[in-house]
Amino acid sequence: MIRLPLLYSFRRCPYAMRARLAICASQTRVELREIVLRDKPAHMLEISPKGTVPVLQLPDQSVIDESLDIMLWALRGNDPQNWLSPQAGSLDDMLALIAHMDGPFKHHLDRFKYASRFEGANPDEHYASAISALRELANRLEKTPYLFGRTPSLADQALFPFVRQFCNAAPERFASEAPKPVQTWLSERVATPLFASVFGTKWPKWQPGDEPTFFPQLPCD
């Protein structure tokens, strides 16, 4: 029997979402184990003690437990839509933008969305700072339909799950305050069949002994 990579995932987590997007786009198949964050499986913690999803264990037992590394692993294996070779700019340019958004933007997003968990956080200030970070995306999206040119790339796919999370934290405010090109870009990303493939199914929580669940269930568009 051919062993598939094993992915510990959580459907709503934007980091896990970006990993599933790249797994789909690279036509990779994995065994998916859906977890809940408050009750992490012992095997997941054994192979990745830091306790975050996504975690990918390869058939040779090696482990990749950073979402961006999982994207790069999948796409370096097969990249039929050229996510790693954008039509404008380079992979390094995309990684720099992703790092900026994973850093400051996510920092402000969390302090807006979960203000009560951060002592002294002023949600309005963090909202404004997150909107400023989105202006950087808007500057690009005013020139081309996607962040690095005329076709979607790694940067679009790695980042929209976080912008979606920010939008969903306060949809009306996002509609009035977020830059319009970012709103259009986000609406288009979440309407794709690819997004439906990674988010449209509600997987039951995995328990040891369960029959394997394969992801994707069908080839992704």
Ligand X SMILES: N[C@@H](CCC(=O)N[C@@H](CS)C(=O)NCC(=O)O)C(=O)O
- Where does this chain bind ligand X (CB under 6 A)? 10, 13, 15, 37, 51-54, 66-68
Residue nearest to ligand X (CB): 13
For ligand X, the closer CB: 51 or 77 = 51
Q: Which two tokens stand for residue 74?
A: 């999948």
Closest CB 178 distance from ligand X, rounded Å: 21
For ligand X, the closer CB: 50 or 204 = 50
For ligand X, the closer CB: 141 or 160 = 160
Closest CB 50 distance from ligand X, rounded Å: 8
Work out the burial of residue 78: count CB atoms within 10 Å of its CB; fewer than 13 is exposed, 13-18 middle, 19 or more buried: exposed
Identify the helix (H) or strand (E) that includes residue 15: helix 14-25
Q: Which two tokens stand for residue 123?
A: 């949600």
Q: What is the Cα–Cα distance from 56 to 41, expressed in whole angstroms?
A: 14
Closest CB 188 distance from ligand X, rounded Å: 23
Instruction: Tell me whether strands 30-34 and 55-57 are parallel, antiparallel or unpaired.
Output: unpaired
Distances (CA, A) of 106 to 90, 97, 109, 112, 220: 23, 12, 5, 10, 28
Closest CB 158 distance from ligand X, rounded Å: 9
For ligand X, the closer CB: 76 or 150 = 76
Q: Which two tokens stand for residue 66?
A: 């950073």
For ligand X, the closer CB: 49 or 219 = 49
Closest CB 38 distance from ligand X, rounded Å: 8
> Are 221 and 193 spatial neighbours (Cβ–Cβ below 8 Å)?
yes
